[in-house]
A and B are shown apart, each in its own frame.
Chain A
Amino acid sequence: MDGDICATATTPPDSDPARKRRVHGMLKLYYGLNEEGKTVDQAESMNPCDINGTHFDPEVYLNKLRRECSLGELMDQETCMVKQIRSLDSDMQTLVYENYNKFISATDTIRKMKNDFKKMEDEMDCLSTNMAAITEFSAHISGTLQDQHAQITKLSGVHTLLRKLQFLFELPARLNKCLELQAYSQAVSSHRRARCVLQQYSHMPSFRGIQDDCHAIMDKLAQELRQKFRDGGSSAKDLSECVELLLQLDEPAEELCDKFLIHAQSRLEANLRGLEAELRPPLSSGPTSVIDPSIGPARRLSAAPTAGSPTDPTSPGNPFLSSSSRTDILEFIDRGCNEFVSSLCLVIASYQELFVNRPQEGELASKNIPHMAIGKLHAFVDAMATCYFLLVERRIQEEKSVGDNSLLVRALDRFHRRLQAVAKLLPGSAVPSQGTEIVVRAARERIKQYLAALQRFYLDSLRDVRQALAAPRLGGSSAGGGSHLAGPATGKDAPASLPELLSSLSASILNQIKSVLASVHLFTAKDITFSNKPYFKGEFCSQGVRESLVVNFIKFVCQSSRQFCESAGDRGGSTPPALLLLLSRLCLEYETSTITYILTLTDEQFLVQHRSPVTAVAALCGEAREAAQKLLNHYVKVQGLIISQMLRKSVETRDWVNTIEPRNVRAVMKRVVEDTTSIDVQVSLLYEEGTRKAHSSDSSKRTFSVYSGSRQQTRYAPSYTPSAAMDTNFLSNIHKLFSERIDIFSPVEFNKVSVLTGIIKISLKTFLECVRLRTFGRYGLQQIQVDCNYLQMYLWRFVSDENLVHFLLDEIVGSTAHRCLDPAPMEQSVIEVICERG
């Protein structure tokens, strides 16, 4: 109330502030308030002359006025003051009046309120009574409505049930319709919804009927789905839907898998048949060898078009199926990859999508389909791959020609590469490793074939050399004059070509080895997928190429050479001696350089890591040297025997007792010298001269200590002292003591002189032994003397130690003398004359 009064008092703010302040102050005083505006008032209040201030001191103010103001001014002041007091009084009257009015109106209002509340109270009472009545009524109504409400609820339940039933009853029709419209999924979902109910109430005949109907329809549906599934012509999506639906229809997943796989199998088998048809004709007669015979011909026919082969290869009546229609292995593998492997991959992929990778929901999840499905898939893939591999292996085995290896390698590479796709699709499958095994087997087989080819080549080359050796001799033998005995080549042409033959032989063999190595090297090329398999990195290089191919070939060369020695010994010179000589030289060259070269080449090309034990170069060289030695020994033996044979015949067939006085050297001796000379020429073509002991200035002239009585007596001086037996023979054997024991068929060295020495030794020893078996007359002895002298004249130059010839010829003449009935030796001068006459 104070505010209101104050506000009204100060309403005109722009009116005289002093007055206002004064009024204000006064009011303040009146109300005893002095809180607000205290500080403002302080300064004012300090001034006792401020009339509106609190500390106004009328005395001070009056004094001040009196002191300061003039009378006029005082008069003015006084009038102003009176004026002010008067206005203040009127103001106060106004205020009081105003407040009074307000008080009166307030009192009126309160009085009126008092009356209103009373009235309101009455109304409230009325309301509460009304509410009670309403409540009562409401309860009453609820009570009456309760029954009806329950009934309605029941009715609405019945209604829904009826709708469901209606669905059920309509289901067969609906399903039929779906079936007609091929809206299989809808049908399946409808059926699925109804299935449980039908199952539950199947004891009621009506439901049973529905259920049966549904079953019938769904069976039909399933049938259709299956048919669709079986036909397989549908797209993958369709197929997948099919499978899904069938799975939802509780079709056993296993059966589905089987069906799917059988379906796929028929297609794959068609591919396989296509491949098989490309194999050799004899195999087409037995098509059941690979293809499962249980598959009917009808399916086979239906599957044939999918194979996509332009010609129907299964028809056995096709005569053009022979080699003309045969494709090379690359094409074959290509076809296999493109048709079979691709299809297989496709099958795997779709199968996995259908059975393995599908999201599992509901009851299907519990059956663990993927596990079963994967198992089936593996079995299936393995089975199909096995068939495929059989075909591929057969095809590879047919690949016998060693001409172009790159084709095979590329084919194998492609084969191997495509199988990797299977590996990716189906991890853990044995197929890729089996494929690798096939490749490995093929490589092994290949190495064997190459070895065989090399061996064939070698034998062919030998045959060529043989023919080359034989050909000129036909012409040469007539020139040589002697037509008896398949002796050494006497013509100049044959020996002249020996070094050429040798070099061409060794060069062609080396070239062949190189080309084979190059071919085999393809297996380990960087861009070949299987080259990084451990087999091709390790075993293939060391065991395969180095051991089975190169080392075996070298061994074969040595061995076949040795066989020449063994077989020829019994069958009597089936091998021309020149060939023996040539081979011996070849083996020797192998020993000195070729083997090392070939093996180094192999090691470099194939980076053979000597992890597994391999044949040492030294061992091979040893073998080659042994073979060379054997061949040369055999050569010596054969040539020696040829000459021996002549000598033996000449000694055995003559009646030495009743022979005439020698006038000539016997023709056979000339022939011996001739042959020896031609052997000398032949050997010198291939072998170095060799060392010989220094000989006297004229070794051709040498007097034999043929037969002297003194010697005879010394030699056979009678002595019956067994312990002194050595002494008895000492003089006679003095020569033997000083010269080494002569081994007749002893190993020779790799030089011409040694070879010739060997041959001459054999010949002369035979001569000696034959002479000892005969009995001679005087002229017989003399003839032998002449012959020996002749041999001495010519043979010394061929041997390493001429003393050897001397010794043997000495022995011959000595033995002849012993076997002579009338030992009267010929004059040396006469012998010489005869010999020089020839």
Chain B
Amino acid sequence: MEDDAPVIYGLEFQARALTSQTAESDAIRFLVGTQSLKFDNQIHIIDFDDENNIISKSVLLHQAGEIWHISASPADKAVLSTCYNKNATQLLSIFVATSESRVVTCGAVWRMPPEWESGSHESPDDPHNSHNPQNLELLCHLDNSAHGNASSVLWEPMGDGTRVISLADNHALLWDLTESSTQATISSSATLEGKGQLKFTSGKWSPHHNCTQLATANDTAIRGWDLRTMSQIYCIENAHGQLVRDLDFNPNKQYYLASCGDDCKVKFWDVRNINEPVKSLEEHSHWVWSVRYNHSHDQLVLTGSSDSRVILSNMVSISSEPFGHLVDDDDLSDGEDNNQYDKSKEPLQDSIISTYEEHEDSVYAVEWSSADPWLFASLSYDGRLVINRVPRALKYHILL
């Protein structure tokens, strides 16, 4: 059973921000934000045709500045949010003029122009298309100068696209978007108090508990927040030996959380017992920047690291399907066949499924496709986007 070769797409700019288009459940579509200080930054909409193994892309201009973080609305395909540095050229002019400037990172919600989709069907080779990219339409800023630099914007998982959280320095701000997302108002906020300059490096909105929980990372600690009271509910001090870089919630097990960081480790936590990680992996040879659970099969965990590798792990033992595919009630009535079937699947072990070495530079983002659970993209700093699939053998093993 031969696996398809990975599909590689090169951006002309460096890039860190990658997200799948959450609201899109048919097409395999990823959004990539570029980082360039000198040129207009872009958002690349990468469409992948699974059957023909062809990538097609559209480019939208993001003139506000270089993109550090991007996330897509779960409700409206056309709406997305970015965290970006203020336009470099503007910055530079201020800098030159006053020789006193600060690099400020802002958050904003954007709408893609309705025509972009028509362009996606054109050949990516067509230079015409790429030379006339369309601009994003700004819906609203998630700005509050009092709260400092935004590091990420989180949409309410599976929500109606009206609630977002932005993490800015040591504040977590919960925004309500109204009037078709053109108005953003802070409904509540939480502040991390403590010695020194505390700063949220990353965060994740839990899809469980009716979306009332948030997990954030700052320095080596992971904190959980209750969004109803905006108060801290747990804190895993020294979750990692070094900085915690990323978090992800297990989509199927409400208390399970994965984290990764500069100690090259990926750790899995049960937030009810924060003293010890449930499991710890140390497979990467440098900092791990991104960790993602597969949306449907939570034993599949994807990690990207600055050792330029992407690793797909099979964490069966702590997944919601420790003994393989859960048998539905209907299937249970089938009797014996099923039992034999289940037994044959029990001896699954936690293992590394595959290490992907297509990247040449640090991989800062990995993301599962929201449309096809067997497909994922990874983005390295040099602008290379690689789309890979879960090995077929494993896929069938999980499915069958």
Which residues of A are interface residues toward B (Cβ below 8 A)?
569-572, 641, 655, 657-658, 715-722, 725-726, 728-729, 732-733, 736, 741, 743-746, 765, 769, 772, 775, 777, 818-822
Q: Which residue of A lies closest to B364 (CB)?
A: A772
**From residue 80 to 136 of chain B, which have CB atoms closer than 8 A to chain A?**
85, 88, 91-92, 95-96, 99-103, 124-125, 130
Our pick among A572, A658, A818 for the contact of B14 (Cβ within 8 Å) is: A818
Our pick among A728, A769, A775, A777 for the contact of B362 (Cβ within 8 Å) is: A769
Question: How distant is the Cα of A820 from the Cα of B35 in the complex, in angstroms?
Answer: 12
Q: Are B55 and A722 in contact (CB under 8 A)?
A: yes
Q: How many A-B residue pairs have CB under 8 A?
A: 94
Q: Could you list 27 examples of A-B contacts with CB < 8 Å?
A: A569-B241, A571-B238, A572-B241, A641-B242, A657-B91, A657-B101, A657-B102, A658-B95, A658-B99, A718-B12, A719-B10, A719-B12, A721-B124, A721-B125, A722-B55, A722-B124, A729-B382, A729-B384, A732-B382, A744-B306, A744-B307, A746-B285, A769-B287, A769-B362, A775-B37, A775-B103, A822-B92
Question: How distant is the Cα of A100 from the Cα of B55 in the complex, in angstroms?
Answer: 196
Known contacts A569-B263, A641-B241, A745-B264; 18 further A-B pairs (Cβ under 8 A) = A572-B238, A572-B241, A655-B102, A658-B95, A658-B101, A720-B124, A720-B130, A722-B10, A725-B10, A725-B384, A728-B10, A741-B357, A772-B362, A818-B14, A818-B37, A819-B37, A821-B95, A822-B92
Interface centre among B103, B125, B287 (most CB of A within 10 A): B103
Q: Are A765 and B95 in contact (CB under 8 A)?
A: no
Residues on the A chain within 8 Å of B371, using CB: none
Is the CB of B299 closer than 8 A to any CB of chain A? no
- How many of B's residues come within 8 Å of A, CB to CB? 43
B365-392 vs A: 1/0 string, CB under 8 Å?
A: 0000000000000000111100000000
B332-366 vs A: 1/0 string, CB under 8 Å?
A: 00000000000000000000000001001010000
Tell me the minimal C-beta distance from B177 to chain A in angstroms: 29
Q: Which 4 A-B pairs have the closest CB atoms?
A: A725-B10, A718-B12, A744-B286, A743-B285
Residues on the A chain within 8 Å of B9, using CB: 722, 725
Our pick among A641, A741, A765, A772 for the contact of B381 (Cβ within 8 Å) is: A772
Is the CB of B171 closer than 8 A to any CB of chain A? no
Is the CB of B256 closer than 8 A to any CB of chain A? no
Tell me the minimal C-beta distance from A563 to chain B in angstroms: 15
Residues on the A chain within 8 Å of B318, using CB: none
Q: Which residue of A lies closest to B240 (CB)?
A: A570
Question: How distant is the Cα of A746 from the Cα of B382 in the complex, in angstroms?
Answer: 23
Residues on the B chain within 8 Å of A822, using CB: 92, 95-96
Question: How distant is the Cα of A666 from the Cα of B53 in the complex, in angstroms?
Answer: 51
Question: How distant is the Cα of A717 from the Cα of B124 in the complex, in angstroms?
Answer: 16
Question: How distant is the Cα of A49 from the Cα of B105 in the complex, in angstroms?
Answer: 205
Residues on the B chain within 8 Å of A719, using CB: 10, 12
Is the CB of B57 closer than 8 A to any CB of chain A? yes
Tell me the minimal C-beta distance from A747 to chain B in angstroms: 10
Q: Are A821 and B88 in contact (CB under 8 A)?
A: yes
Question: How distant is the Cα of A732 from the Cα of B57 in the complex, in angstroms?
Answer: 23
Interface centre among B91, B263, B285, B384 (most CB of A within 10 A): B285
Q: Are B125 and A765 in contact (CB under 8 A)?
A: no
Question: How distant is the Cα of A25 from the Cα of B130 in the complex, in angstroms?
Answer: 202
Is the CB of B13 closer than 8 A to any CB of chain A? yes
Q: When A720-B57, A732-B382 are in contact, do A570 and B238 touch as well, CB less than 8 Å?
A: yes
Q: Is the interface of A mostly helix, strand, loop or mixed?
A: loop
Q: Are B8 and A775 in contact (CB under 8 A)?
A: no
Q: Which residue of A lies closest to B56 (CB)?
A: A722
Q: Are A725 and B8 in contact (CB under 8 A)?
A: yes
Question: How distant is the Cα of A746 from the Cα of B307 in the complex, in angstroms?
Answer: 11
Question: How distant is the Cα of A741 from the Cα of B307 in the complex, in angstroms?
Answer: 9
Interface centre among B92, B238, B308, B360 (most CB of A within 10 A): B360
Residues on the A chain within 8 Å of B57, using CB: 720
Is the CB of B211 closer than 8 A to any CB of chain A? no
Is the CB of B7 closer than 8 A to any CB of chain A? yes
Residues on the B chain within 8 Å of A769, using CB: 287, 306, 362
Q: Are A658 and B100 in contact (CB under 8 A)?
A: yes
**From residue 268 to 286 of chain B, which have CB atoms closer than 8 A to chain A?**
285-286
Question: How distant is the Cα of A717 from the Cα of B382 in the complex, in angstroms?
Answer: 12
Q: Are B12 and A716 in contact (CB under 8 A)?
A: yes
Q: Which residue of B lies closest to A718 (CB)?
A: B12
Q: Are B10 and A729 in contact (CB under 8 A)?
A: yes
Q: Which residue of B lies closest to A737 (CB)?
A: B360
Residues on the B chain within 8 Å of A745, using CB: 264, 285-286
Question: How distant is the Cα of A741 from the Cα of B286 in the complex, in angstroms?
Answer: 12
Interface centre among B37, B91, B101, B381 (most CB of A within 10 A): B37
Residues on the B chain within 8 Å of A775, using CB: 37, 85, 88, 103
Residues on the A chain within 8 Å of B306, using CB: 744, 765, 769
Q: Which residue of A lies closest to B101 (CB)?
A: A657
Tell me the minimal C-beta distance from B173 to chain A in angstroms: 22
Q: When A571-B238, A720-B124 are in contact, do A821 and B92 touch as well, CB less than 8 Å?
A: yes
Q: Which residue of A lies closest to B123 (CB)?
A: A720
Interface centre among B96, B124, B357, B382 (most CB of A within 10 A): B382
Residues on the A chain within 8 Å of B362, using CB: 769, 772
Question: How distant is the Cα of A743 from the Cα of B306 in the complex, in angstroms?
Answer: 10
Residues on the B chain within 8 Å of A721, using CB: 124-125
Q: Which residue of B lies closest to A811 (CB)?
A: B361
Tell me the minimal C-beta distance from B44 to chain A in angstroms: 9
Question: How distant is the Cα of A50 from the Cα of B151 in the complex, in angstroms?
Answer: 196
Q: Which residue of A lies closest to B8 (CB)?
A: A725
Q: Which residue of B lies closest to A774 (CB)?
A: B103
Residues on the A chain within 8 Å of B14, using CB: 716, 818
Interface centre among A719, A720, A736, A746 (most CB of B within 10 A): A720
Residues on the B chain within 8 Å of A765, using CB: 286, 306
